[in-house]
Amino acid sequence: MSEEHVPTGGREGEHKQAGGGLGMLAAGFVVAIVVGWLLYPAIVMSSKPQPINFNHKAHGAEGAGLACDGCHTFREDGSFAGIPKLDNCIQCHESAQGESPDEAKLIEQYVTPNKEIPWLSYSYQPLCVFFSHAAHVKMAQLECTTCHEDMSKSSSSPPVKVYRISGYSKNTMSMEACEDCHAEKGTSNACFVCHK
Amino acid sequence: MSEHHEVASKEKYGMVIDLDKCTGCGACTVACLSENNHYVREDESDKLRSVAWMKVYKVTNGEPFPNTKVAFIPRPCMHCDHHTPCVSVCPVMATDYNPLTGIVSQIYTRCIGCRYCVGACPYHARYFNWWDPVWPEGMHKLLNPDMSPRMRGVVEKCSFCNHRLQKAKDKAYVEGRRDLRDGEYVTACAEDCPTKAITFGNMKDPESAVAKLIKSPGAFRLLEKLGTQPKVYYLSNESWIRALGDNALGRKRTARPA
Amino acid sequence: MKLDRRGFLKFAVGGAIGTLATPIPWDMIDESAKFTDLWAPEPAKGPSSFVHSTCRLCPGGCGITLRLVEDKSGRDEWRGWHHKEFIQRRRLPAVPLRAVKIAGNPDHPVNHGGICPLGAAGLQLLYGTNRVTTPLKRTNPKGEGEAAWEKITWDEALNIVNGKLREIREAGNPHTVACILDNKKGLTAELIDRFFRAYGSSNVITMPSQEDVETVGLSLMQGTGGRLAYDLENSKYVLSFGAALLEGWGAPVHNMMVFGKWQEANEHTLVQIEPNCSITASKADKWLAVKPGAEAALALGMANVIVTEGLYDRSGIAHCQGFEGFKALLESEYNPRKVSEITGIPANVIATTARAFAVTKPAVAVYGRGQGVMSGNLAEFMSIYSLNALVGSIGTKGGVVMQREVPFKAWPALVTDAVALQGLSQPRIDGEGGEIKHGVCMAHNLTAALKSGAVNALVVHEANPCYALPGAHKFEEAVAKVPFVLALTSCMNETARSADIVLPVASYLERLEDVASAARVPYASMSLTRPVLANVPEARHPGDVFLTLARAMGGSVGSSLPWDNFEALLKEKVGGIFASRRGWIGDQEVAMLGSSDELWEGFNAGKCWYEEPVFGGGGLTFNPQGRTPHFEPVSWMEASRDYPMLLVAYENINIANRRAVDTLPYLTKNIDDTVLQKHDLLVRVNPETAGRMRLVEGDAATVQCPTGRLSVRVHMDVGMMPDVIGIPLGLGHSNDDPFLTGKGVNAYEVLEPVADPVTGLAVWWGTRAKLIKA
């Protein structure tokens, strides 16, 4: 059976190989690339807009002149407050400062009813992670922009890309990035330095 | 794993438990359960599967009535300093010895649930999560945000409240300090003990309470003959309790976990 | 182009290679890892704060520190996946403020930062599954199967209660209303007592406690009531007659703290006198295994040694009365050899212990049995208390101290009308003592009173008599016969299940209330429980409930309770502490404060008021009304043919017993498997005794008592006295709590109180029994 079959099969195979063979391989490759880079993110991630389009530029050096730690503060117990609470906004925006529609929205929807703004975090870490801002900012004197995007140039808040399965943001820093930097700077990579 | 001793660090945390003060009330266990987000099953009487990182063992001198005496041995993880048995057997490095602090870590998200470590631990300090963690409606509100709850299928154990160390360090950092003062970082069990039987601190700081207590004449460790060098020390003036500490088989008395 | 198999495979291979050049595989590995991470719920993060309050779960009154976590994120859910329904994202409601931990408050004078397991688990009461969340009205008749409930509003509930109480009062029968409280300490209890007196009923009855016999004994021997306390911290020789000093007696954490100090100082001696090897007995320097119930005889034997050898405090005795008669009785009846026969303690041990007790100063003899719920007879108390007079330890540092009252502003005069006076002139339904009259409550008589139909309405406030009165099941049957039963409780318990109306009261973490003077602590103190957060928004302060009812009733009741709310009353009362200029609040002297408001602020910041113990007043009468301390056996102490063994109840610090709360879930991890195995309670029996009955460890058995039978298992305990069965109190609940219901049996059901012939008070700590292999 094999004697009969091999020659014919071989001929047909040669023919196809010569023709569509590499083509199919390439086609598969191209399709995969397209799916992986263009379609896949749209499928696994949802894009959630921030409740208010926050203008970092207008608040920072080029605007109101606030430094990062003007709003992103440490608490007395050493923990990092992260995204500021409404109280922080109210200090300046008790009433409207300008004419931006976002500020109007802030005052109407949040300041007046005294409702906390449900900001979405770009860098929310999984629950097994302990990230110490104090260690990085106070002790190691790292700039915020070492890990975070430089927001001082941005005049809008891009939507947060959130994985549909885990609920974590696309910008969530990976353990690899932490480890690499720690290794480079000679800081311990022991598990309990960053895990809880 | 012996290389970890070569790292220069000013910290090595340890615990001293005065068994003569311990009344076995179990406040340490509850403090631990509450601090470390433990759930409770409707039936916790199967003690082989009941998870308690800080377990209080009841032992007796075995003498007949009326010369009977009981004592209690609270047993957290010993955070063995030498050839840490669990670390040696973990195939995925889910548990590791931290040379900076001497604390043996357990990373639940990395654990594959093979339970080699459970078998390797001479102190029964490791527990496997046989069940999904369940909190009754509303009870989840008491979860501590500093501690991650564990999922089914992983091994867990006492961490010397490592998250409290992380928080204490953060506080020191924002105050511009790198080193902690004695008493700034204590475990939940040590904090809550009503007889103050548990002392916790940095053994490398000669001024710390633990460093002084481990030099007491009545100090001993469990199963010292194994050479694992636990960082949990016990104090007792009762010779029968000290004898149990090395599981004195062949002698008259044997420990009976009750 | 036709796609054949080979072509397809090539396409697939190309696709696979291409995929490796995309984020898909790496992303998916990452995602699946993070997904499994979410199999456990993720606690919401937020800033932490710490608040001081006071624990009210036992008479210990420890200062506590609550850790609160604030979640202002505005997110509407916690993260995490439901473990059972994988696809359904677990939705846990966001909580703006939650309490995550209770620790001891290091600045509180009672506990100095320590806490007991029950106190540490207190949040499981706040967030418990067993909370009553709205007022409930019973929809089926009592005593006919499981209770069925209808949720009603507070207005509806209070209208019903008001209507019932009015109806009874208008018929001229206010004395047929009874109220059961756990105890009469604290302003809420005093307010309730005042409510019923103004209404016309003196039937506010407390659950049995050791303090009852102490109160009667002290008023006889010293002419004053007062709260008996002990300066254990400064005592060098403590002779404890069964008090579970390290297992929940008095102020548990305070005692344990003192014990820790004793162990450090190494100059204190603790002698524990009790039949079985308890933790206190093990931790004591000496354990005297006395025959159950023979404690009084042992005390008198020691008194004999002290008196005959002239070791007593001569100058102190000069201020006492009746010493000669007492001495004569001791010499004739209680020489060590005779006492040795009664107690089982060798004569030489009695003598050496007595000598050490007499010569070590200061020394103190502590009366007690277990945690302080069970009690013996008056003669027993008098015998033990007399030892303190003999060694001059009454009113001295390191001895017995009368705890002073917190100088609250006095209540204004009670307003009464004709109906109230008529009601108050009626005898109390629980009877008023035996041979001697006293005002102490005798809750053990309630079953008969309820059965006789003398009670038209029963109000139970934060007590659980259907579970925790000796002979509980009989009481439960009697309650079913009462026409109207109201229960005020924060958690559903056995008594609430027998009620017609259940009102949800705020837990101790949700209400403002005074916690005065920890039990047995030598000094007066007061700190507040504070409304830290409201987990059950519908739950109300019981004081406010009674004030609202008083307003609705008007008349003498309304006039007697004119305060708008409990806070206003409390604030007014605290003014008395300021006016007294006594003591300290935190580290500030009250006398130095400018106004009562400053003091009030201090209390509301979680500080504790306390004053130094006041010593003095040593004299007593050994033979009041001709009653000399003597040994009086209780009827069940004598072995009988049918019941050769003695069943003795004991308490375990991890099994909450009769207190404001039942055993909380965390504590079930602390209960030994030698006490509870699945649904079976294990009784403690000496191996020799068990062997005679061919019982081995874990065997099922029946404890047969004259009052009933219990199905148990057997734990062989070498520390048990032969022929004695030890049974823990606090198990065997049927209260819907999944962590408690159906676990073990309720020992209260077989413990039958015996009335003390002198006082009429209940003597109860055991009963005769037979152990039968099942």
Pairs of CB atoms within 8 A across A/C: 118
Between A124-128, B96-100, C531-535, the lowest mean confidence (pLDDT) is in A124-128
- Segment C638-693, tens digit of pLDDT: 888 999 999 999 999 999 986 668 899 999 999 999 999 999 999 999 999 999 99
C764 DSSP assignment:
B
If one counts every other C-beta atom within 10 angstroms of the C-beta of residue C385, the result is 25
Residue that the structure tokens 């995490």 belong to: C80
Indicate yes or no: CB of B30 within 8 angstroms of CB of C666: yes
Mean pLDDT of B196-224: 95
Closest partner residue to C10 (CB to CB) among A24, A40, A118 is: A24
**Cα nearest neighbour of A37 on chain C:** C22
CB crowding C582-606: b at 16 or more within 10 Å, else e: bbbbbeeebeebeebeebbebbeeb
Residue B132 makes CB contacts below 8 A (sequence gap 6+) with: B151, B152, C39, C83, C84
Cβ within 8 Å of B, C 343-372: none
Question: Using CA atoms, how far apart are residues C665 and B34, in angstroms rounded to an integer?
Answer: 11
- Specify whether the CB–CB gap between C143 and C501 falls below 8 A: no
Quote the pLDDT of residue C682: 97
Residue C103, beta-bridge partner list: C65
Percent of chain C whose predicted confidence (pLDDT) is above 90: 83
Closest partner residue to A191 (CB to CB) among B107, B163, B171 is: B107
Q: Has residue C92 got a pLDDT over 60?
A: no
- Segment C697-751, tens digit of pLDDT: 999 999 999 999 999 999 999 999 999 999 999 999 988 889 999 999 999 999 9
Instruction: Please state whether beta strands C708-716 and C680-685 pair in parallel, antiparallel, or not at all (unpaired).
Output: parallel
Mean pLDDT of B171-195: 95
Residue that the structure tokens 């204590």 belong to: B186
- Segment C17-75, tens digit of pLDDT: 999 999 999 888 888 888 877 788 888 888 899 999 999 999 999 999 999 998 766 56
Between B67-76, C88-97, C355-364, C485-494, the lowest mean confidence (pLDDT) is in C88-97
Indicate yes or no: CB of C114 within 8 angstroms of CB of B27: yes
Q: Is C87 on the interface with A (CB under 8 A)?
A: no
Indicate yes or no: CB of B23 within 8 angstroms of CB of C259: yes
Q: Is A17 on the interface with B (CB under 8 A)?
A: no
Kindly report the average pLDDT of chain C as a whole number.
Answer: 92
Please state the three-class secondary structure of C494-515 as a single string.
HHHHCCCEEEEECCCCCCCEEE
User: Which range in A94-103, A169-178, B69-78 is most confidently predicted, on average pLDDT?
Assistant: B69-78
Quote the pLDDT of residue B90: 97
In degrees to the nearest 10, what's the CA dihedral of C508, C510, C511, C517?
30
Quote the pLDDT of residue A21: 66
Closest partner residue to C277 (CB to CB) among B29, B68, B144 is: B68
Mean pLDDT of C338-351: 97
- Specify whether the CB–CB gap between C312 and C611 falls below 8 A: no
Residue C363, beta-bridge partner list: C237
Between A138-147, C38-47, C88-97, C727-736, the lowest mean confidence (pLDDT) is in C88-97
Largest CA distance in chain B: 60
Q: Is A75 on the interface with C (CB under 8 A)?
A: yes
Nearest to C42 by CA among B135, B105, B167: B135
What pLDDT band is residue B3 in, cutting at 50, 70 and 90?
very low
Quote the pLDDT of residue C91: 52
In degrees to the nearest 10, what's the CA dihedral of C298, C301, C305, C311?
60
Question: Using CA atoms, how far apart are residues C59 and C54, in angstroms rounded to an integer?
Answer: 11
Residue C769, beta-bridge partner list: C645
- Segment C704-716, tens digit of pLDDT: 999 999 999 999 9
Q: Is C73 on the interface with A (CB under 8 A)?
A: yes
- Find chain A residues with C-beta within 8 A of C3's C-beta: 24
- Joined tokens for residue B166: 């992380």
What pLDDT band is residue C591 in, cutting at 50, 70 and 90?
very high
**Cα nearest neighbour of A81 on chain C:** C47
Closest partner residue to A163 (CB to CB) among C1, C18, C31 is: C31
Indicate yes or no: CB of B166 within 8 angstroms of CB of A132: yes
Percent of chain C whose predicted confidence (pLDDT) is above 70: 96
Domain ranges within chain B, ordered by starting residue: 2-245
- Specify whether the CB–CB gap between C185 and C519 falls below 8 A: no
**Cα nearest neighbour of C126 on chain B:** B139
Quote the pLDDT of residue C410: 97
C413 alpha-carbon distance from chain centroid: 31
**Cα nearest neighbour of C67 on chain B:** B144
Closest partner residue to B96 (CB to CB) among A132, A190, A196 is: A190
- Find chain A residues with C-beta within 8 A of C24's C-beta: 35-36, 40
- Segment C401-458, tens digit of pLDDT: 999 999 999 999 999 999 999 999 999 999 877 788 888 999 889 999 999 999 999 9
Q: Left if phi > 0, otherwise alpha if psi is -120 to 50, otherwise beta: which for B217?
A: alpha
- Quote the ipTM score: 0.94
Q: Is A193 on the interface with C (CB under 8 A)?
A: no
- Segment A9-31, tens digit of pLDDT: 444 444 444 445 688 899 999 99
Interaxial angle between packed helices C566-580 and C187-199, expressed in degrees from 0 to 180 and rounded to the nearest 10:
110
Smallest CA–CA distance, residue B101 to chain C, in Å, is: 25
- Segment A61-97, tens digit of pLDDT: 888 888 888 889 999 899 998 888 888 888 888 888 8
Between A10-24, A120-134, B155-169, the lowest mean confidence (pLDDT) is in A10-24
Quote the pLDDT of residue C322: 94
Cβ within 8 Å of C, B 209-248: none
Quote the pLDDT of residue C79: 61
Smallest CA–CA distance, residue A142 to chain B, in Å, is: 14
**Cα nearest neighbour of B149 on chain C:** C40
3 state SS of C715: strand
Quote the pLDDT of residue C259: 97
If one counts every other C-beta atom within 10 angstroms of the C-beta of residue C678, the result is 12
CATH hierarchy code of domain C228-403: 3.40.228.10
Residue B96 makes CB contacts below 8 A (sequence gap 6+) with: A190, A191, A192, B87, B90, B104, B105, B107
Cα torsion angle, C493, C499, C500, C504, sign: negative
Quote the pLDDT of residue C41: 80
- Specify whether the CB–CB gap between A122 and A171 falls below 8 A: yes
The CATH architecture of the domain made up of B2-245 is: 2-Layer Sandwich (3.30)
Q: Is B109 on the interface with A (CB under 8 A)?
A: yes
- Segment C168-204, tens digit of pLDDT: 999 999 999 999 999 999 999 999 999 999 999 999 9
Question: Using CA atoms, how far apart are residues C299 and C313, in angstroms rounded to an integer?
Answer: 17
Closest partner residue to C124 (CB to CB) among B27, B29, B139 is: B139
Query: Which ranges of C38-122 would DSSP assign to H, the alpha helix?
Result: 117-120
CATH hierarchy code of domain C635-773: 2.40.40.20
Pairs of CB atoms within 8 A across B/C: 220
Q: Has residue C88 got a pLDDT over 50?
A: no
Smallest CA–CA distance, residue A30 to chain C, in Å, is: 7
Residue C508's identity, in one-letter code, is Y
User: Which range in A47-56, A139-148, C306-315 is most confidently predicted, on average pLDDT?
Assistant: C306-315
- Specify whether the CB–CB gap between C523 and C403 falls below 8 A: yes
Indicate yes or no: CB of B105 within 8 angstroms of CB of A127: no
Quote the pLDDT of residue A121: 86
Quote the pLDDT of residue C94: 66
Residue that the structure tokens 């009052």 belong to: C707
Nearest to C106 by CA among C119, C97, C116, C115: C115
Q: Is A174 on the interface with B (CB under 8 A)?
A: no
User: Which chains are adjacent to chain C, needing at least 3 Cβ pairs under 8 Å?
Assistant: A, B
Q: Return the residue in A34, A129, A166, A175 with the most chain C beta carbons within 10 A, the one to mutate for interface testing.
A: A166
Interaxial angle between packed helices C378-390 and C210-221, expressed in degrees from 0 to 180 and rounded to the nearest 10:
60
Q: Is C676 on the interface with B (CB under 8 A)?
A: yes
Indicate yes or no: CB of B31 within 8 angstroms of CB of C738: no
If one counts every other C-beta atom within 10 angstroms of the C-beta of residue C739, the result is 23
Closest partner residue to A30 (CB to CB) among C3, C18, C76 is: C18
Q: Has residue B178 got a pLDDT over 50?
A: yes
Mean pLDDT of C510-522: 94
Residue B213 makes CB contacts below 8 A (sequence gap 6+) with: B16, B18, B199, B219, B233, B235
